[in-house]
Each structure stands twice: as structure tokens, then as C-alpha cells.
Amino acid sequence: MGSHADAVLAYGYNLGGGEKWEVAEADDDNGLVLPWFSDYEGDGENGNEGFEEAATARLLASIDFADRRPDEDYGTFRDRLNAAMARLGVRITSCYCYEFPTYLLTAEVFEADSGNVQALDLPDLARRPETGGWDEKLRAALTVLGLTPTRRQPNWLLTATYG
């Protein structure tokens, strides 16, 4: 990881991660108790490697997305994957503070690199969750993942990630 921070503005849920999970399914040792994920897999020491990949795979399986076929070129697979992710309408977004990841379940993400400025239309942002059906998509994803965030409603979340 580099030493510069990038800003992340996202709509969704903070799931937590490396230092502290923000879901009811976390145990006393900050592990996740989920039948589809073993948080002690991976090579790292924080015990949460693979969460983004495992959660994304579970979400894709919920809409019957098939992995890359042996005879399928990468471009075709990438197009199918992008279409499937658009159909889901949500994704797992990871943000890093040194080696500790924080995971967000998001319906929309804006990122600003160091030195870049983005103008935001705040009234438009306030309307997007309702007009895009984001809350329903996020709730459906939480059901698929079997997660109960400590904060019951999705929100606009502002954080930093180091890259």
C-alpha cells in the first residue's frame, strides 16, 4: 500500500472488517460466524482475507451467474460479469487503512484520488436511493449474505482508503 489517502463516498452499509466487524454475526474474537465463509482462510494475519471475493461469489450465485467457461474468452466473461453486477445493483467495496480492511456493502460509490476534486449534486444524491431502489437491493443482498449490520438503515458513508 502507498502512503496517500483517497476519499470514498458510498451509499450502503458499513460491515466493518479487520479491527472490528459491524455486524451481529461477529463473535467475541472478531470472527464472522457465517456458514459460507471461514474468516481464518487466507495468508494474512488479520483473518479476513477473502471476504470480498467470497461475498461477491455468494451474491453472484444468488442470480445464477456461472463462472468462466473453459471455451469462453476473457472479454466475453468480463462482459457477462459486468452485466451480472449491474443486475445485482450492489457490490462489496473494500477500503484499507494500512493492513486492516473495512468492507462496505454499497449501491453507489464515488472515489476521489489525492489531488482530484469532484463536484457533487447533493439534492440528486439525496434522491438516488429511492429512485434507484437501492435500499431494497441492499436488503436483498444482506439476506443472501446472512448479515445484520449494527446500523439498521443504509446511509451515505464517507471514508478514506490508502493506496
pLDDT tens-digit map of 126-161: 999 999 999 999 999 999 999 999 999 999 999 988
Q: What is the DSSP string of 89-149?
A: --EEEEEEETTEEEEEEEEEEEEE-TT------HHHHHHHHHHTTHHHHHHHHHHHHT--B
Q: In terms of Cα–Cα distance, which of 61, 138, 62 is closest to 93?
A: 138
Q: In terms of Cα–Cα distance, which of 29, 11, 18 is closest to 95?
A: 18
d(CA 154, CA 107) in angstroms, rounded, equals 10
Angle of helix 74-88 relative to helix 51-61, nearest 10 degrees, comes to: 80
pTM (2 d.p.)? 0.88
Q: Are 9 and 156 in contact (CB under 8 A)?
A: yes
d(CA 101, CA 8) in angstroms, rounded, equals 14
- What is the pLDDT, as a whole number, of residue 44? 43
- What is the pLDDT, as a whole number, of residue 46? 42
- What is the pLDDT, as a whole number, of residue 98? 67
Residues in the chain, overall count:
163
Residues 6+ apart with CB under 8 A from 144: 58, 59, 62
Q: In the chain, which stretches have pLDDT less than 70? A: 1-3, 39-49, 98, 163
